[in-house]
Structure 1
């Protein structure tokens, strides 16, 4: 449910704070502005940040002195000498939707700003601005315009395309700031006659916004504010895919995210979507994985013969290597074959990791999976990590048991240590990634068991290493 709190703003006026699943919005009565859009949901690899321009990007953001905030109204085309004090009210439309209204009435002009805050909105905030009166047009400030190096880019949207400068002709569809990590962008709904402007307020602080032409009676400006993280899949859902450019890998990644979304729609939970994704990935790799597991199993069966060669040529390493390679050739075994089943998983692991990272909000808003409340965040109980390590250690034990302790050689210690090292290093990774790794490890154990069973039926059992030493 939405969280609502009333208080006093730093400027001394009334303040309303509304928090949904991702963002904490702050509305101020002074000039009737959206003062803050604080992204408190911070999945792995990100940090909390303020999306409204004009705040410092510290752990505790502070408002820069004298900046203008979004949706200030300048009736005479210039900033008023004193702030207009709005009346803030709100109406709850169930537990998941809240309409916030900021109203002000002056000489010859009435203003009402309506915001619709939804619990599951993906950084989007529908806005309506109602102007009533007769006379000249007004300027609507959309935000502070940061200056200097490393600041966000001011972007204009015309007919779905991004432009760095306003066009002389065409319908303005949106305007906003695009930074590396965040986007603050206003998209208008079917509005003609709006002209972008850049200027300064009474204190000399730079602003950007739109000029609303002269009107008689009532003028209604409708649009949507996107104030959130710079993620293509989320911008696309807001109709803002035109303001960012995708590289080759990003395009491929978007395809994977859409595939996961399709699985989510089919199952109703991203946990089951990851289960299906894992099964599809393993099915795709099964022929190659099976071949490599067979190669690994044959390598283990050759250990007694290799140990015999070690004893025969213990003083001649060159002859030993020559005979070992000949043995590999005769048995049609790839000595590196055992590594490939593991290495083949890394492209899928990286794709899933980047998919969760770039669509963490979708995972966050989905229902819990089993005991895991949020697959985009670490498992708070570490259960999935413990299960994964247990499955991997079980697989190592079975492999050692099949091949014999001596045959395992120095790799045995690595096989026992690696799962523990991996768990420690990546314990803060999203639970969704660990779910994939658990499923992969379980399937790998199952496939190895099947392959060893096939080999045991196809050929007589290999002699144990200690028996081989007696020959």
Structure 2
């Protein structure tokens, strides 16, 4: 068997193995539970105030700020709620703790059904998946922990009844010992809250406090659990991005969980499509903390100690992003001074490629108005850009095929002497001015680009619930058609996605994927070994079943890529004198044509 066929079979087998490993290593996640295996309960968690391992502490931070985190299993009381009503966010603020714990996104629903519930981002303690944000103060000197607001502190509404753009809400709490706390919350037209905390000191003594912000998530949430997508903690610290999966947060040492940020940073939790992020005021220093305690995941921004003189007041302002990871929206926030905020989108290793590809797909979707056709056009554009590399690769393959008869003679002459065979092949290449590596290098250069395109289609929010044509109503979901009901002709529904029956039933797109892979395979000569030839022949149909359950947008991309690749290779081979026989092997070639 010649080297080209052997490499092709090896690459195909490795691809099959990779996808098989995906299914084995990334099964559907189980419902989160606590350390004892029981459902998680509500707990009160104080912010991290332990000193940094770095002796160079931020100004105002001392070893006095070393109180261990405390927990209180008593549930947080329900109190009066302040309504949130904005174009992109609806919900309420709980005056118990002054926390943002009820938030839904009017622009997004759970399913395609227009009557289905809105996507709910934040949920209060007592719900199935508590997930919320709160802001407060840490007592350092001149005040006790009981004299600052805590999780179950009942705030009064001082100003405003409904939080909406241009109409902030202010909460107030008097500790009865000379300190009066105010919390003013505003929201813009998209997904950004601004929280301004103020403390008035009406006592006769100075008081030292530390403001903080915190996002809590009770238990590990359901995730896509796919290795190319990051879900968990994401944070930026003075230009350095860090991504921590949920499984790794609890394993962080105190030194790893805390980062002292000097000027710019942010941190929070990211899902595939949604995100909740604490954003300190740009240019300010703070301590960035990611940790777990008693089954609760926490991200915290803890600010330097401030001293409030008698009769004086001090304010601390920060922001909170809670919403959808829309590329244009996040880019606009970055333009306002949130450094590196666009990197909250998971661009992957090849970010220098995925970013421009992502921008091009968004532009195409805006121009065409249909994400399915945009994916096809994007694939066509990239294949056109890479055509010079593809041409060089296929042209090199054609020249190698010219030497195939002479290489077969060398194999017969060399027998089992591999060294003699290699020397003969090198002389043959040199004589005919053929570089065997020239066909491989263009293919290797294309791999990062195609992987980046795959990544973009996988993570883009615009793919969610986006229709294409006919029966494809959601490009982020598997093809809903099924061969079992003759693609909708018979009066019963297709199997539920994710079931074994659904995998083997196949829809229209998976079948087209198998055919496109089969056509592309037919442009390559069949292996001489019968066993290898049989394995090779089954590969497209195995991939058809394994990849068919992926999102329709991804399957559409593979079909488009395979079809364009087949067309390019077919035309290039015809240009070089070969006549591909789709129902058989490749025939002809320059020398064959000359003999005729």
- Segments of 5+ residues of structure 1 without an aligned counterpart are 1-7, 43-49, 163-175, 199-204
How far residue 16 of structure 1 moved from its aligned partner, in angstroms, is 7.9
Alignment partners' CA distance in 1, 2:534 and 2:548: 21
**Residue of structure 2 in register with 1:165 after alignment:** none
Cα 1:292–1:262, aligned 2, differ >3 Å: closer, same or farther?
closer
Aligned ranges for residues 323-334 of structure 1 at < 5 Å? none
Contact 2:167 2:186 in 1 (8 A): yes
Contact 1:393 1:419 in 2 (8 A): yes
Residue-by-residue CA offset, 1:209-261 (whole Å, 9 max, x unaligned): 57596899999876421368999995884443369999xx9796145314421
Residue-by-residue CA offset, 1:281-300 (whole Å, 9 max, x unaligned): 32333223223223434555
Which of 91, 97, 100 in structure 2 is aligned with 1:34? 100
**Residue of structure 1 in register with 2:450 after alignment:** 349
**Residue of structure 1 in register with 2:512 after alignment:** 387
TM-score (norm 1): 0.57
Contact 1:392 1:441 in 2 (8 A): yes
Which of 434, 441, 454 in structure 1 is aligned with 2:562? 441
- Segments of 5+ residues of structure 2 without an aligned counterpart are 1-41, 43-73, 111-119, 217-248, 290-297, 481-506, 580-585
Alignment partners' CA distance in 2, 1:32 and 1:278: 49
Say whether residues 1:142 and 2:241 are aligned partners. Answer: no
Aligned ranges for residues 346-385 of structure 1 at < 5 Å? 346-355=447-456, 360=459, 362-363=461-462, 367-370=466-469, 377=476, 379-381=478-480, 384-385=509-510
Say whether residues 1:70 and 2:134 are aligned partners. Answer: yes
Contact 1:143 1:209 in 2 (8 A): no
Secondary structure at 1:443's aligned position in 2?
Answer: helix
**Residue of structure 1 in register with 2:192 after alignment:** 125
Residue-by-residue CA offset, 1:437-459 (whole Å, 9 max, x unaligned): 3222111111122123323499x
Cα 1:361–1:438, aligned 2, differ >3 Å: closer, same or farther?
closer
**Residue of structure 1 in register with 2:242 after alignment:** none
Residue-by-residue CA offset, 1:167-217 (whole Å, 9 max, x unaligned): xxxxxxxxx6568998742333899xx99999xxxxxx9993575968999
CA RMSD of aligned residues (A): 6.4
Secondary structure at 2:537's aligned position in 1?
Answer: helix
Which of 153, 159, 163 in structure 2 is aligned with 1:83? 153
Contact 2:134 2:215 in 1 (8 A): yes
**Residue of structure 1 in register with 2:78 after alignment:** 13
**Residue of structure 1 in register with 2:390 after alignment:** 289
How far residue 133 of structure 1 moved from its aligned partner, in angstroms, is 8.2
Number of aligned positions between the proteins: 400
Contact 1:152 1:178 in 2 (8 A): no
Contact 2:429 2:436 in 1 (8 A): yes
Which of 432, 450, 460 in structure 1 is aligned with 2:571? 450
Alignment partners' CA distance in 2, 1:406 and 1:242: 51
Alignment partners' CA distance in 1, 2:121 and 2:138: 23
Cα 1:332–1:423, aligned 2, differ >3 Å: closer, same or farther?
farther
Alignment partners' CA distance in 1, 2:512 and 2:86: 33
